[in-house]
Amino acid sequence: MSLNNLADLYYHQNRLSEAEALLTRALAIRERILGENHPDTLNTQKLLARLRQGTDTSSEADRMDKLAMPKTDILEATRHNKPLARNLREDF
């Protein structure tokens, strides 16, 4: 979690390239250790996607956000013991 925290600090200091490098590193570690579908991995993926939005890598941000979103919806539905279809309808 400390890589994410340091990246957040850099983000708020407008040190975006350093924040992106830390989040990229954190994502690689979490994917390797926790797996691609772990909530912490998905959270880091979403943070990195949001950081990249509005930059030269915004198309990559959109791709990452689209990959993380369905997995996050499934995790939220199971965490709150809600049917997935109901949870998805609430988003619209």
Whole-number Å distance between alpha carbons of 25 and 45: 11
- Asked whether the predicted pLDDT for residue 84 surpasses 60, the reply is no
CB neighbours of 44 closer than 8 A, spacing ≥ 6?
Answer: 4, 23, 26, 27, 30
State the amino acid at position 29 in one-letter form: I
Whole-number Å distance between alpha carbons of 2 and 44: 12
9-28 pLDDT, tens digit per residue, is: 999 999 999 999 999 999 99
Place of tokens 């994917």: 31
Largest CA distance in the chain: 41
Instruction: For residue 9, give Cα distances in angstroms to 3, 6, 18, 70.
Output: 10, 5, 10, 28
Domain ranges of the chain: 2-90
56-79 pLDDT, tens digit per residue, is: 655 665 666 666 665 555 566 556
Q: What CATH number was assigned to the domain covering residues 2-90?
A: 1.25.40.10
